[in-house]
Structure 1
Amino acid sequence: MPKVETHLHLEGSIQPATLLEIARRNQVEIPARDVAGVEQLFKYQSFHEFLTVFMALARVLVRGEDFEQIAYELGHHLADQQVRYAEVMISPRQHSYRGIDLNEVVQGAAAGFAKAQRERGIGVNLAFDYGRQFGTEEAWPLLECAIGNQHNTLVAWSIGGDERHFPPEPFAELFAAAKQAGLHVMAHAGEVVGPASVWGAVDVLGAERIGHGVRSVDDPALLTHLRERGVVLDVCPTSNLRTGAVASLAAHPFRRLFNAGLTLTVNTDDPVFFATTLNDEYRLLAGSFGFTAEELTTLALNAAHASFLPDEQRAMLSGQMQSDIAALRAELDL
């Protein structure tokens, strides 16, 4: 089934063999010597452990060619999943503090995805996802870099990172500046803390999409607010389970959020880190939550409609997907 992915981190998509190759090329020590060792690092039990591993492994990326390589490989992986379009986040602070030129990072990633597009037809745009734990002062030059790279397919600004200790409200001025400059805005919220984080991201930051947002289910007034405002929740079921955002798959509120009338998309977040694919996530929804072919179609089209493509391109993508899904369902009698 043709799909769109709207919540995906580039650094969390590096294949273990590629990670080892780049680490050796750049002479960066990591706590693993082979693919099995890298996979062992991914066996974390909490969001804090996940962040620690994420930041440690991002250190292997040093040159523009590194980002070009991982973007190219990710583009092919997405095409293998029948993904027609994706919006991929880069974590700029993980690289800028090491003295790496972020313009080179963006140019490399854009070049890798462009090459994959020429070969496979997959469309990709980029976003900067800033770690809120690093404060607002360091964010300003990174936002300026994002604004200056809109011609390099960078379309959005986001915050992620430590939601528990760093609420969204201090970033209001940054988000206003991003929107003023023509960037779309989104925020990780309601992943590991409660509804207040989502309220702040929506009402104070003006986020168009919320990354995760699963704790919204705890506040009926918030559910109504999100539905009325048309705010999209980019939900990542396997990620939520692996980071401890939900206690078990049975406890995941995806079905409740969907039945409440919210606009949801389904995503992988960090597919290599969580040993998942977008096909796996759709299978999970069908097998564990009883989603029908019609409901899965709705989720796929939600992602197309929620994308940050220009209006005409978004309409073309949505229309083509709707036509292709209808043909596929007719062929399979679904």
Structure 2
Amino acid sequence: MKELSEELTHIRDLPKVELHTHYEGAAPPAFIRGLAKEKKIDISKVFNADGSYAFRDFVHFLSVYEAATTVLKSPEDFKRLGLAILEEAASNGVIYMESFVSPDFCGGGDVSAWRDYLAAIQEAADEAKRDFGITSRGIVTCIRHFGPEQAKTAALCAAETAGDFITGFGMGGDENQGAQRDFLYSFDMAREAGLRLTTHAGEWRGPSEVREAVQDLGVERIGHGVRAVEDAALVDELAEKGIVLEVCPGSNVVLGVYPDWKSHPIDTLRRAGVPVTVSTDDPPFFHTTMRDEYVNLANTFGWDAEVFSDIARASAKAAFCDEKTRTEILEKLEA
């Protein structure tokens, strides 16, 4: 492996704020294989010969993702998973992390069962803060391709458990299914519960999907959102309104949204004044870490430490957390 320059090493080791990760999608393959072995569940088709996750394209990725979650069967499994992913994130310099958690994978959308899973997830968060120095929050997500009716159960779970840890509501899944406005009821329920809102848009469908997410659902952040670059008026609108894009460059390149890092529009969007953040999405699936993302962005676009520090501060300001926590994060970034 080529040795990094002193500047790249400094950039790689900067403190980081990550706003877009999927709880189950961050599960190390070895962790999932270990659970499968414990429970005597055969999910061998989920993995390549080298032990990594095996998928062909985005739709196949979703099916592999959901197959991998079948070994996560109890609150204790989710606590163990939480400790694993938070320790890994902390080792990459992440001081604050938000993860998407879905009640569909935690009790099937039943509020009572969800409370048990959430308690275990919060225990992991508390222990990780104590042991690894990383602060975390959860964003409840509905799954787009499960449909609007099932989304209402996720929104109810979110509304019933909104508080210090569950601070946001969003939507993931297959962007090519249905429309953003189909899920307005669920987003309104979450909004009325005081939750902050985000949704995946503009990854697979074009800029119109981003515009609809902002206009129809009233979100303040967009998961991915990179296809907005194809519409200059929309870029200006995002910049003017301060709509934050949770950008995951490595994910976009691996899944083929863009053919390579040089083609990725994150730098164009940043220079146009759109608030951009940097995250890993589902890091073990896409063979990335936050350190890798930083190094690749520095190498591709010539970003220096000041740019990354600006992005980390902007990410902290966009975080779905209380003001006391935000102040603590900003102080750590300045230190």
TM over 0.5: yes
1:6 to 12, 16, 19: 19
1:32-71 matched pairs, under 5 angstroms = 36=49, 38-39=51-52, 41-42=53-54, 44-71=55-82
Q: Contact 1:17–1:35 at 8 Å: present in 2 too?
A: no
Matches of 2:100 and 2:88 in 1, distance apart? 16
| CA offsets 1:135-157 (integer angstroms, 9 cap, x no match) | 11112222111122224611111
Matches of 2:121 and 2:30 in 1, distance apart? 19
Aligned to 2:141: 129
Aligned to 2:248: 236
Q: Contact 1:189–1:197 at 8 Å: present in 2 too?
A: yes
Matches of 2:106 and 2:129 in 1, distance apart? 25
Aligned to 1:293: 305
Q: Structure 2 length as normaliser, TM-score?
A: 0.91
Unaligned runs of 5+ in 2: 1-13
Unaligned runs of 5+ in 1: 325-334
Q: 209-218 or 284-293, which moves further after superposition?
A: 284-293
AA at the equivalent of 1:30? I
- Determine helix, strand or coil for the equivalent of 2:310: helix
Identity in percent: 35
Structure 1 residues 35 and 74, CA, compared in 2 at 3 Å: closer, same or farther?
farther
Superposition CA RMSD, Å:
1.9
Matches of 2:31 and 2:84 in 1, distance apart? 9
Structure 1 residues 38 and 108, CA, compared in 2 at 3 Å: closer, same or farther?
farther
Matches of 2:39 and 2:114 in 1, distance apart? 17
Q: Contact 2:103–2:114 at 8 Å: present in 1 too?
A: yes
Q: Structure 1 length as normaliser, TM-score?
A: 0.91
Give the C-alpha shift of residue 98 in structure 1: 9.2
Number of aligned residue pairs: give it: 321
Aligned to 1:109: 121
Structure 1 residues 33 and 166, CA, compared in 2 at 3 Å: closer, same or farther?
closer
2:85 to 74, 77, 91: 74
Matches of 2:72 and 2:247 in 1, distance apart? 27
Structure 1 residues 213 and 101, CA, compared in 2 at 3 Å: closer, same or farther?
same
Give the C-alpha shift of residue 82 in structure 1: 1.4
Matches of 1:89 and 1:81 in 2, distance apart? 19
1:91-240 matched pairs, under 5 angstroms = 91-97=102-108, 101-151=113-163, 153-240=165-252
1:316 to 320, 328, 332: 328
Q: Contact 1:107–1:152 at 8 Å: present in 2 too?
A: no
Aligned to 2:10: none
Give the C-alpha shift of residue 95 in structure 1: 4.3
- Determine helix, strand or coil for the equivalent of 2:258: coil
AA at the equivalent of 1:200? E
Q: Contact 1:83–1:122 at 8 Å: present in 2 too?
A: yes
AA at the equivalent of 2:320? F
Give the C-alpha shift of residue 38 in structure 1: 3.5
- Determine helix, strand or coil for the equivalent of 1:101: helix
Matches of 1:37 and 1:131 in 2, distance apart? 30
- Determine helix, strand or coil for the equivalent of 2:178: coil
